[in-house]
């Protein structure tokens, strides 16, 4: 469970500032939305999906795809005015950064 919490913390440290930066007029709101959405998607990806036997071979692809869609929709709903294109781009960039940097940082924190 410690690794799951470390992965969540690393994800939040990487993604929340990216999302807040990309929505400069709405930083606080978008940081809160990003925190909630990323907590939901990260725990789903790291706790629930690996336990579903039929997804064993592809849970990472499915989980990352669901995370991208869920986070993009959350950002699109929260932005004023609604900006679906920016929301999708921000979700894609923040997830890519989190996946690449997060894997490296998680490996560095595991003893």
CB atoms within 10 A of CB 36: 13
User: Residues in the chain, how many?
Assistant: 111
Q: What ranges do the domains of the chain cover? A: 2-100
Spatial separation of the C-alpha atoms in residues 53 and 92, rounded to whole Å: 27
Residue partners of 39: CB distance under 8 A and separation at least 6: 8, 12
Does residue 94 contact residue 15 with C-beta atoms inside 8 Å?
Answer: yes
- Whether the predicted model's global pTM rises above the 0.85 cut: yes
ω into 4 cis (within 30 of 0): no
Per-residue pLDDT of the chain (111 residues; tens, 9 = 90+): 688 999 999 999 999 999 999 999 999 999 999 999 999 999 999 999 888 888 878 888 999 999 999 999 999 999 999 999 999 999 999 999 999 998 888 777 765
Helix axes 2-22, 84-109, angle to 10 degrees: 140
């Amino acid at each position: 469970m410690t690794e799951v919490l470390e992965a969540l913390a690393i994800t939040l440290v990487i993604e929340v500032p990216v999302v807040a930066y990309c929505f400069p007029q709405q930083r606080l709101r978008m940081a809160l939305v990003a925190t909630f959405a990323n907590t939901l998607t990260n725990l789903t990806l790291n706790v629930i999906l690996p336990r579903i036997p039929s997804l064993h071979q592809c849970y990472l692809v499915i989980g990352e795809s669901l995370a991208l869609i869920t986070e993009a929709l959350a950002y699109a709903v929260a932005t004023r005015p609604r900006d679906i294109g920016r929301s999708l781009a921000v979700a894609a960039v923040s997830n890519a950064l989190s996946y690449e940097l997060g894997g490296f940082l998680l490996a560095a924190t595991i003893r």
